[in-house]
Amino acid sequence: MELFDKATAGKVAQKLLDIRAIRLQPQHPFTWASGWKSPIYCDNRLSLSFPDVRTFIKNQLVEVVQKNFPNAEAIAGVATAGIPQGALIADALDLPFIYVRSKPKGHGMENMIEGKVTSGQKVVVIEDLVSTGGSSLKAIEALKNSGFEVLGMAAIFTYGFELARKNFEDAGVKLICLSDYEAMLPEAINANYANDQDLNSLAEWRKSPDTWG
């Protein structure tokens, strides 16, 4: 798990904060579906509603693919938030696009992968957000089981959990993110979205998200 570029990481974080795709509430935590209490909520789908931010993120993800996965033959988006991002990148690179559901469709062809399945095709997976990496790696496993050669994954943002790093490392999957929690914190302070008193609490959450709060 690595950052594409430190300068880009700061710019992406600042843009996500400005459009409130990233919200920080250490005093009034959010509750995730897992039950974890969190001082941060990240909804990168909001970037799609802001053309300048959408285009910036698209261009950076395109560069990630070109520099790190130059042999890519297709782009795959992870449902649901990775679908529009992946489609934008596939269009910019003039590559085929597919997407992966979290589970097989309950009717019709009952597909888990939508689009043309080509065994042996080299694919890069696009994700909007990586937390523990569980759902992302499940999508990658589905692609491999269908015969694709997964070159790696590119994502907009990651919380930088040690668990996620270990999960991707154990799976042997290269993950490159545009920005992460560490790059976001100074941008939040500079823009007055958080203050110095919040820093300790925000730092502690990332170390132990399952017990924080």
Q: How far apart are CA 185 and CA 56, in angstroms?
A: 20
198 among annotated binding-site residues: no
151 among annotated binding-site residues: no
134 among annotated binding-site residues: yes
Q: How far apart are CA 29 and CA 61, in angstroms?
A: 30
Phi-psi region for residue 185, left (φ > 0), alpha (ψ -120 to 50) or beta? Answer: alpha
34 among annotated binding-site residues: no
107 among annotated binding-site residues: yes
Strand partners, 3: 177
136 among annotated binding-site residues: no
Longest pairwise C-alpha distance within the chain: 54
128 among annotated binding-site residues: yes
28 among annotated binding-site residues: no
160 among annotated binding-site residues: no
Q: How far apart are CA 162 and CA 132, in angstroms?
A: 8
Instruction: Give one DSSP letter per residue of 40-89, joined into a string.
Output: EEE-GGGGGG-HHHHHHHHHHHHHHHHHH-TT--EEEEETTTHHHHHHHH
In degrees, rounded to 5, the angle at the alpha carbon of residue 126 between the alpha carbons of residues 101 and 24 is 95
Q: How far apart are CA 170 and CA 173, in angstroms?
A: 8
* Spatial contact of 65 and 124, defined as CB atoms under 8 Å apart: yes
162 among annotated binding-site residues: no
Which residues does the annotation place in the binding site for 5-phospho-alpha-D-ribose 1-diphosphate?
A: 101, 105, 107, 127-135
Which residues does the annotation place in the binding site?
A: 101, 105, 107, 127-135
Which residues does the annotation place in the binding site for orotate?
A: 131
